[in-house]
Structure 1
Amino acid sequence: MNAPASRWALVTGASAGIGEAFARELAGKGIHLVLTARREDRLTALAEDLRSRHDIRTETIAADLARPDASARLCEELDRRGITIDILINNAGYGVPGHYLAQPWTVHADFLQVLVTAPCELAYRLLPGMQRRGYGRIANIASLAGHVPSSAGHAMYAASKAFLIKFSQSLALENRDKDIRVCAVCPGFTFSEFHDVTGARAQVSTMPRWMWMTSEEVAREGWSAVERGDIVHVTGRVNRLIKTLIKLLPDRLALNLVQRRSKSYRVMDPQQGTAE
């Protein structure tokens, strides 16, 4: 069953990258959009562009999901505007570079709030309405990193993505008889601002082009997976091959392999002074 054009989607982290690409993908299907991120100017520009291109309704709500009350306030604002959300794209996220102790705990606490707590809370608050209406779609943007051994540096990133994968699996099984489809969409290396924010642009720029996907490719393939009813979907054939091969290796060998390759996509740790 395809999403009727009268439905609304909420996209977090919609101001750039995969979030923006998902917004464009859904807009092309005639779905109305609520876009949220911290950068209000970008949200406004995107909303106006999608509204004029696709003749849909768009709303913007600037929010910082690192705030503990942000998800509740966001849902309250949706209620105030009379908008019912049937499609949730939990995309907001970023990376914290360097070794675990290189950052104060408050930085890690904000990270967990955005990448773990906010997706769970938004699903918790929006699921009851989806269940009542007998229709829902939730895409939790996880990562290939959640499937492969983690390396030194970004200690909480892979862990948070592995959590989203397991969370999506349980949520999907709990709601599969209600026409509510939940999918952990797991991209690999994607052209976006992510690596600029983490300071790893110089490192990842040396990686071969065949390892990369565009945000648009990820969104297109990811949404198709959601509609098919896939519970976990790794985007791109190369990434699926990497996942399969890593699973076949003994844990120690897989860890060593990932650790050696991590120098291509980890930044220098200011505390340790080594490539991460």
Structure 2
Amino acid sequence: MPPARPVSLITGASAGIGAAFARDLAARGHDLILTARRADRLESLAEELRARHTSTVTVLPADLADPHAVSALCDALAARGLAVDWLINNAGYGVPGTFEANDWPTHEAFIRVLMTAPTELAWRLLPGMRQRGYGRIINVASLAGHVPGSAGHTLYAASKAYLIKFSQSLALENRHLGVHVCALCPGFTWSEFHDVTGTRELMNKLPGFMWQTAEAVVREGHDAVERGEVVHVTGGVNRFIKALVKLLPDRLALWLSGRESKRYRDLGEAV
């Protein structure tokens, strides 16, 4: 049985899907732990949620690109006596430009934030969930993890494919202990993501029906993990794209990905 007031840790909570998860879970009676790099945004969101709901909101700023950030974050949780029931691994971003256009520290930081940190958080917090017989882990992956990689965001699809496979194995290992794990796979979502990567102008060429709000993505993700769904692609359009790609020969799917890369990706120097 879930606790009367579950405690949820949300990474990348300062904007977009992370902030939408915070608002959704607070409305459902969760106490929250918010983490991201931008402390001012976290504090502003925390004040909003405390005013609107009865939630206790703890703000713990962290840069998950720091190799010691996750252990320090978990030490801070232990010092406050906070046991995490819901883990939302949402922190992420894109690195525009081809692989060689970026230096290694840029790629290393990306891998830490999108792959190493969510894996370590799950490893550190999962034992408590198993012991209590209840837990929810949502790894925010992407439709990109189901389709061929594209030029211009070289590591992005690879990192999301990792989260999908990681979630599947983790779910199989823990579902009999009351811990549900779900890889949430949105497509194009209205957020700051493309503004940060400098690709907003390119993304605006996409038709409106391909986009979802962060709130819609979160609602689907919450329902999916509660159902015990291990991988959930949000939105009918995205599910159609995933099904279509699976039916196409690999060479044709890769060719299509290459064509779309030229239209919607920054293939020039890193910004």
Fold-level similarity (TM above 0.5): yes
Tell me by how many angstroms 1:39 deviates.
Answer: 0.3
Alignment of 1:62-81 (within 5 A): 62-81=61-80
Residue number in structure 2 paired with 1:143: 142
The residue matched to 2:131 in structure 1 has which SS?
Answer: helix
CA distance in 2, matches of 1:156, 1:169: 20
CA distance in 2, matches of 1:267, 1:104: 16
Residue number in structure 1 paired with 2:86: 87
* 2:52 maps to 1:53: yes
Q: Tell me if structure 2 keeps the 8 A contact 1:66–1:110.
A: yes
Alignment of 1:172-183 (within 5 A): 172-183=171-182
Q: Tell me if structure 1 keeps the 8 A contact 2:98–2:267.
A: no
Coordinate RMSD, CA, aligned = 1.0
Tell me by how many angstroms 1:34 deviates.
Answer: 0.2
Q: Tell me if structure 2 keeps the 8 A contact 1:204–1:264.
A: no
Tell me by how many angstroms 1:268 deviates.
Answer: 4.1
* 2:15 maps to 1:11: no
Percentage of identical aligned residues: 63
The residue matched to 1:88 in structure 2 has which SS?
Answer: strand
CA distance in 1, matches of 2:150, 2:81: 45
Residue number in structure 2 paired with 1:274: none
Residue number in structure 1 paired with 2:188: 189
Residue number in structure 2 paired with 1:26: 25
* 2:253 maps to 1:254: yes
The residue matched to 1:138 in structure 2 has which SS?
Answer: strand
CA distance in 2, matches of 1:226, 1:199: 32
Q: Tell me if structure 1 keeps the 8 A contact 2:151–2:267.
A: no
| Residue ranges of structure 2 left out of the alignment (5+ in a row) | none
Give a deviation string over 1:141-182, Cα, whole Å, max 9, x none: 000000000111111100000000000000000001011000
Give a deviation string over 1:9-39, Cα, whole Å, max 9, x none: 0000000000001111111100000000000
* 2:86 maps to 1:99: no
Tell me by how many angstroms 1:262 deviates.
Answer: 2.2
Give a deviation string over 1:193-217, Cα, whole Å, max 9, x none: 0001111000001110000000111
Tell me by how many angstroms 1:93 deviates.
Answer: 0.3
Residue number in structure 2 paired with 1:210: 209
Tell me by how many angstroms 1:263 deviates.
Answer: 3.0
Give a deviation string over 1:103-125, Cα, whole Å, max 9, x none: 00010000000000000000000
Tell me by how many angstroms 1:4 deviates.
Answer: 4.0
The residue matched to 1:47 in structure 2 has which SS?
Answer: helix
The residue matched to 2:160 in structure 1 has which SS?
Answer: helix
- 1:194 corresponds to which letter in structure 2? F
Q: Tell me if structure 1 keeps the 8 A contact 2:9–2:87.
A: yes
CA distance in 1, matches of 2:84, 2:231: 22
CA distance in 1, matches of 2:242, 2:267: 26
The residue matched to 1:35 in structure 2 has which SS?
Answer: strand
Residue number in structure 2 paired with 1:42: 41
Residue number in structure 2 paired with 1:221: 220
CA distance in 2, matches of 1:51, 1:176: 33
CA distance in 1, matches of 2:4, 2:11: 20
CA distance in 1, matches of 2:154, 2:170: 25
Q: Tell me if structure 2 keeps the 8 A contact 1:5–1:32.
A: no
